[in-house]
A = this chain, B = another copy of it.
């Protein structure tokens, strides 16, 4: 398996066609996976925003004041408002905001970035990242680049472990997971680990090459990796009744 960054991508502007930008710079082959950082998908989709765009609800003010009290840092209630606008549920209010985005991804600050955003204050995540992936895939097909799976990635933290890692937030042309159910292990027993989240593993692999800085390499081609014959599943975000940690967080409040 090989992960190669697409070199020389320009600064992405609203309306840019990511499939075209990539197709002009990378040789893609059938079976390749193309990962694209959400940051450029959002830029192409015009998902920038400014603090001035946001009114401030009582709820946003309450959240910002609590965050200020808890962290001792100045918090702009308009940022809290932007996060609320992008979210379907607030899971942690303090000492930072953890929410579920409208497309089902749980991450800090609804994934809104304040870095790598020229001329604007905020960069929101794509509205429907799997549709974004599908559009990029269709754009590649239109240019004769068939059978390329596309994954839209973001970088975010997680419980239990320090640090951030790449995750998939949208995908097209492949299943999210390999389902090993029914497969046998080396000793002929059925496997206990059943579902391998390959889109997340591919996003993590690509993120090693993409990096978080000024590198300018938001797209990565993964070659010589095969999904294989296993069954696929497209469930990536847990359903509420299946997510014990979400349940625990609903019944919890930060205490300091």
Interface residues of A (CB under 8 A from B): 1-4, 11, 92, 95, 106, 113-118, 155, 158-167, 176-178, 180, 183-187, 189-193, 195-198, 200-202, 204-205, 207-209, 211-214, 216, 225, 228, 233, 235-238, 242-249, 251-252, 254
CA distance A183 to B177 in the complex (A): 34
**Contact B214 A186, beta carbon cutoff 8 Å:** yes
Chain B's nearest CB lies how many Å from the CB of A221?
Answer: 11
Contacts known (A115-B191, A165-B196, A189-B114); A209 close to B160, Cβ less than 8 A: no
**Contact B191 A213, beta carbon cutoff 8 Å:** yes
Apart from the given pairs A114-B192, A180-B212, A248-B251, 20 other A-B contacts in the complex at a CB distance below 8 Å: A1-B3, A1-B209, A115-B193, A118-B187, A155-B193, A159-B246, A160-B237, A161-B197, A161-B236, A161-B237, A162-B177, A162-B236, A162-B238, A162-B242, A163-B176, A165-B197, A165-B201, A166-B201, A201-B205, A208-B225
